[in-house]
Amino acid sequence: MTSSASITRAEVAHLANLARLALTDDELDHFGDQLAVIIGAVSRIGDLETADVPPTSHALPLTNVVREDVVRPGLTQEQALAGAPAAEDGRFRVPRILGEEA
């Protein structure tokens, strides 16, 4: 494992904020240690000779998989809302969104 594999407490706090998770100070340390292990494992790729290997995002050598522009039936409004914790006027009801503008 390379020694550069680490994550600061501030970075963990920032990630928690992006994930909308409220973490305690203890949890920040706890998850920070765990994340450092993961980052360390992933960063071992840096030990390999990869200069000539193009980055890949797919296991399959496929391109241009498209469908015809044809409308297909989906869900009814009732079906769509069936699993929603709350609904109102045919819409999904969500808690108010604080501090952000649509």
Partner 1 sequence: MTVTTDRLPSYDEAVAAFDPVIGLEVHVELGTASKMFCGCSTTFGAPPNSQVCPTCLGLPGSLPVLNGAAVESTVRVGLALNATIVPWCRFARKNYFYPDMPKNFQTSQYDEPICVDGWLDVELVTEDGARTVRVEIERVHMEEDTGKSLHVGGATGRIHGADHSLVDYNRAGIPLIEIVTRPVEGAGAQAPELARAYVTALREIMRGLGVSDVRMEQGSLRCDANVSLRPGPEAPLVTRSETKNVNSLRSVERAVRHEIRRQAGRLTAGERVVQETRHWHEDTGITTPGRSKEQAEDYRYFPEPDLVPVAPDRDWVERLRAELPETPDARRIRLLDEWSLSEFDLQSMVNAGAVDLVAQTVEAGAPVDAARKWWLGEIARVANERGVALDELPITPAQVAAVVALVEAGELNDTLARQVIEGVLAGEGEPAEVVAERGLAVLSDDTALLAAVDAALAEQPDVAEKIRSGKVAAAGAIVGAVMKATRGQADAARVRELVLSRCA
Q: Where along the sequence are the contacts to partner 1 (CB under 8 A)?
A: 18-20, 57-58, 60, 62-77, 80-81, 83, 88-97, 99-102
Question: Is the CB of 30 or the CB of 91 nearer to partner 1?
Answer: 91
Nearer to partner 1, 24 or 79 (CB): 79
Residue 37, amino acid? V
Nearer residue to partner 1 within complex by CB, 3 or 67: 67
d(CA 54, CA 52): 6
d(CA 26, CA 90): 43
Side chain identity, residue 38: I
